Amino acid sequence: MKNESRTKKIQNLFSQLALYKYDGVLIHQEHDNEGAIEVVEVDGVRSLHFGTVPRQSSMLISDPNRLYLEYARTMSSWLLFKETLNHQEALLIGLGGGSIAKHLLYQFPDCKVNVVEYRKSVLKVARTHFGLPIDSRLNVVIDDGANYVKKNREKDAKRYSIIAIDAFDHEGMAEAICNIDFFTHCQTLLKPDGILTINLWGGVHRPQFQQIALWLGKLFNWKLLFVPVKGRGNIIGLAFNPKTPVYSIKDLRTRAIVLEHLHQIDYTYYLKDLVKHNASVLKNVIY
């Protein structure tokens, strides 16, 4: 009886330990053909993992429409340069937990958000665990991002005001988007005054970053800015189509203050970093 009791205690202990992962409580786990999908909660924050420690997306449970992760907040720095998305359309390559999609829907009630996500299981988890809404303004397509923009480059030419690219798997940026054809198709889909924003992983000295920066520079005639993500290895790129204006630094500073009050995000900091890290091309975008 003692041995049975001891065995039961050990089994209970392992059962409890199995509920914890990445320093949080594992509340959901499943696998598809691409690997693991895990949802973990810690200190009121729910995060999506693809079988590794890095978080793909996070949501503050008490404020689910807020951009929580610093890289997602930094990606929103395009708001410095475009006042609204109302009555316009955005295209997101990569869904994750849906934080960027939800933020756009919440902040711009008259915009339409189109999302391309490769994994159907990720969409399901975004719906069930991260509050991605069923909304007539939201259209999610299950497809490879590179394949989608190639197929739709003529039908949707000059359609989108914003294209946001955040396409990572558990190893890094998805291979399918690391070629100039993908970025050429994206530019075709942008309106003449459209902005492309991209989450780049690994820092300025990585060959992949340098190659993508070169492609974007050539395609967008060096109307291109980069801002490092505070405390992380990510760098956010902003590429501006030819009809975007050249912006006054004075006006941008005023706008940054207004945006901070609206969104509780440090846009003044992002603007300072944009000026600091883009000396060679700054005049192409900001005067």
Do residues 147 and 17 share a domain? no
**Are 180 and 84 part of one and the same domain?**
yes
Q: Of 90, 25, 100, which Cα lies nearest the Cα of 68?
A: 100
For the chain, the distance separating the N- and C-terminal CA atoms, rounded to the nearest angstrom, is: 81
Q: What is the mean pLDDT of residues 198-212?
A: 82
> Is there a single domain that holds both residue 143 and residue 240?
yes
What's residue 276's pLDDT? 96
**Are 94 and 132 a contacting pair, CB within 8 Å?**
no
Helix axes 207-219, 180-189, angle to 10 degrees: 40
How confident is residue 18, by pLDDT bands cut at 50, 70 and 90? Answer: low
pLDDT digits (tens, 9 = 90+) for 166-188: 986 556 677 788 899 999 999 99
Query: Do 93 and 228 share a domain, yes or no?
Result: yes
Please state whether the predicted TM-score (pTM) of the whole model is above 0.95.
no
Q: What is the pLDDT of residues 131-168, one digit of tens each?
A: 999 999 999 999 999 999 999 999 999 999 999 999 86
User: In this structure, are 77 and 171 located in the same domain?
Assistant: yes
In the predicted model, is pLDDT for residue 1 greater than 80? no
- Do 94 and 49 share a structural domain? no
- Which of 15, 36, 60 is where one domain is finished? 60
Model confidence band, residue 2 (pLDDT cutoffs 50, 70, 90): low
- Comparing CA positions, the residue from 122, 117, 121 lying closest to residue 140 is 117
Residue ending a domain, among 41, 60, 79, is 60
Considering the domain architecture, whether residues 150 and 206 belong to the same structural domain is answered as: yes
CB atoms within 10 A of CB 4: 8
Do 49 and 82 lie in one domain? The reply is no
More confident residue, 207 or 204: 207
Task: Note whether 127 and 214 are same-domain residues.
Answer: yes
How many C-beta atoms lie closer than 10 Å to residue 84's C-beta?
12
Residue 91: the pLDDT is 98
162 and 226 part of one domain: yes
What was the pLDDT predicted at 208?
84
Confidence of residue 6 (pLDDT cuts 50, 70, 90): low
> Does the residue 258 lie in any domain?
yes
Closest CA relative to residue 165, chosen from 142, 150, 149: 149
User: Cβ of 110: how many Cβ atoms within 10 Å?
Assistant: 10
- Do the strands 55-60 and 89-93 form a parallel or antiparallel pair, or are they unpaired? unpaired
Residue 10 has a pLDDT of 56
Between CA 167 and CA 178 the distance in angstroms is 10
Which residue type occupies 136? S
Q: Tell me the C-alpha distance between 192 and 89, whole Å.
A: 13
Confidence of residue 4 (pLDDT cuts 50, 70, 90): low
- Give the range of the structural domain holding residue 128, as residue numbers without chain letter: 70-284
Q: What's the mean pLDDT in 107-115?
A: 97
256-274: b (≥16 Cβ within 10 Å) or e? beebeeebebbbbebbebb
**Can you read off the two tokens belonging to residue 250?**
């004075």
Q: What is the mean pLDDT of residues 200-225?
A: 88
Mean pLDDT, residues 63-90: 96
Average pLDDT, the chain: 92
Number of structural domains (the chain) is 2
Predicted local distance difference test score (pLDDT) of residue 121: 97
Give me the mean pLDDT over the 204-227 stretch. Answer: 91
Q: Is 170 exposed, middle or buried (0-12, 13-18, 19+ CB in 10 A)?
A: middle
CATH number at residue 181: 3.40.50.150
Percent of the chain with pLDDT over 70: 91
**One-character DSSP codes across 221-278:** TT-EEEEEPTTSSEEEEEEE-TTSPPBPHHHHHHHHHHHHHHH---HHHHHHHHHHT-
Interhelix angle 249-263/267-276, rounded to 10 degrees, is: 150
Q: Which of 15, 40, 60 is the last residue of a domain?
A: 60
- The whole-number average pLDDT for the span 19-27 is 90
Specify if 192 maps to a domain.
yes
The reply to whether 269 falls in a domain is yes
Three-state SS for 167-202 is CEECCEECHHHCCHHHHHHHHHHEEEEEEEEEEEEC
- Within a domain: residue 65? no
